[in-house]
Amino acid sequence: MTQQQPVLALDVGGTKLAAGAVARDGTMRSFCQIETAVGEGPTAVVKRLLDLGDQALTEAHLSIDEVGAVGVGCGGPLDPATGVILGPPGLPGWDAVPLGQLVAERFGDPAYVENDATAAALGEYRWGGWGVEDLVYLTVSTGFGGGIVASGNLFRGAARQGGELGHVVVDWQGRQCGCGARGCAEAYVSGTSIARRATEAVAGSGSTLTGLPITAKAVAEHARAGDRIAREIWDETTAMLGRMVAVLINVCEPELVVLGGGVTRAGAQLLDPVREAALRQAMPPAARACDVVLSHHGDAVGVLGAAAIAYERLEDA
């Protein structure tokens, strides 16, 4: 590929699939998004993902020959070396799905698969406009995870999972997490967990959420409107996220913690209490060196992350 060729980027979320053509400076030349419909199983979902990739190329007026590589972000665990997906909790049935190979076969280009939140951390570093060399990115989405950039390099770790940030324990006596442990951050901080805890709490409570389809978005809205139960769930969520961010500030001493993902659409209702709690609870020198902010990338954060991975791996190749 030449330095000028754009990449195709694919983002496999538990709720949404997204695709886009992304130029080296982070400009999105196209962006398409559809529902994942995870219940259809991996074969059908992967087919629609690949079709969405074609659509993103068409919308960008690109033929596949004009693209240098395909970057793919997906929930982990997965093997970034082989591109095989290893049964992520948010994608039931995706055991040993050779996603990298399927993407490479369809597009005839090298395909680079990475954990979606790890990828998004690199996207925020490259194109977030933050001007920092050390950041932690956390995605509060269907699931919860994150990635670390240290001294301008994406951190991958000995297990190549880029940090299991969703499974940092915030309350060892707390809720059972899907991973089997107790009190992981993800047991409190994710759209799925917010909706589940609200559903449990609403039963017989007289909450204004009673009888409604309970989503993280509904919990945020009803909390804003003053519903006590919704507010308790929201406050617990931000408190646990604040604690977890404080742990990360102490361990990683980043210049910035960037929050993204669908639940961050709540804006200041999420950011303000998390930022306050995290910077208060972290050790003062580490807290003073750091800030907590929201990503500006909105729904495109996953596609930009996947694109950043494609460029990074091409540079290393």
Query: Of 71 and 162, which has the nearer Cβ to a second copy?
Result: 162
Query: Of 161 and 237, which has the nearer Cβ to a second copy?
Result: 161
**Beta-strand relationship, 32-35 and 291-294:** unpaired
Least spacing, CB of residue 156 vs a second copy, in Å: 8
Least spacing, CB of residue 283 vs a second copy, in Å: 4
Cβ neighbours of residue 58 closer than 8 Å, sequence gap 6 or more: 30
Residue 276 tokens, joined: 């306050």
Question: How many angstroms separate the CA atoms of 253 and 257, rounded?
Answer: 10
Sheet holding 111-115, edge to edge: 32-35, 16-22, 7-12, 70-74, 111-115
Query: Of 80 and 260, which has the nearer Cβ to a second copy?
Result: 80
Least spacing, CB of residue 167 vs a second copy, in Å: 5
Residue 112 tokens, joined: 């680079």
Question: How many angstroms separate the CA atoms of 13 and 35, rounded?
Answer: 9
Least spacing, CB of residue 183 vs a second copy, in Å: 10
Query: Of 107 and 125, which has the nearer Cβ to a second copy?
Result: 125
Query: Of 1 and 181, which has the nearer Cβ to a second copy?
Result: 181
Q: Between the CA of residue 306 and those of 18, 26, 156, what are the distances in Å?
A: 10, 11, 15
Least spacing, CB of residue 53 vs a second copy, in Å: 28
Query: Of 239 and 271, which has the nearer Cβ to a second copy?
Result: 239
Question: How many angstroms separate the CA atoms of 304 and 310, rounded?
Answer: 10
Least spacing, CB of residue 296 vs a second copy, in Å: 21
Task: Give the 3-state secondary structure of 294-315.
Answer: ECCCHHHHHHHHHHHHHHHHHH
How many Cα atoms are found within 13 Å in the side-chain-facing hemisphere of 45? 24
- Residues of the shown chain interacting with a second copy in the complex, contacts defined by CB under 8 A: 77, 132, 134, 148, 150-151, 153, 155-165, 167-173, 179, 181, 243, 246-248, 250-255, 281-283, 285-286, 288-290
